[in-house]
Amino acid sequence: MQERSSVATSQDDTMVMIEDCEERESRLSDWDRTFIDSIKKTLTSGGSLSRRQLEALESVWNEATAKG
């Protein structure tokens, strides 16, 4: 497993992390699922994420992908 050491730097990286989390939805809390849905909607509607949102995504992604 490759753990990311810094916040995603491109929208493509961010979308890959979101998709990874969605594929492991059973590992996510209700808050995590709501958060992932919200930031995905933001990105697909042309918006961008704040640094705090990117850091939160990284945290959720690290937990969701910790076991592969």
In a domain, 1, yes or no: no
Confidence check: pLDDT of 1 > 50: no
| 48-66 pLDDT tens trace | 999 999 999 999 999 999 9
Q: Could you count the other beta carbons within 10 Å of the beta carbon of residue 33?
A: 14
In a domain, 2, yes or no: no
Domain that holds residue 48: 11-64
In a domain, 56, yes or no: yes
In a domain, 3, yes or no: no
CA 28 from centroid of its chain's CA atoms: 11
| 13-57 pLDDT tens trace | 999 999 999 999 999 999 999 999 999 999 999 999 999 999 999
In a domain, 57, yes or no: yes
In a domain, 4, yes or no: no
Number of domains comprising the chain: 1
Alpha helix locations (H) across 1-68? 11-23, 30-44, 51-64
Q: What is the pTM of this model?
A: 0.83
In a domain, 39, yes or no: yes
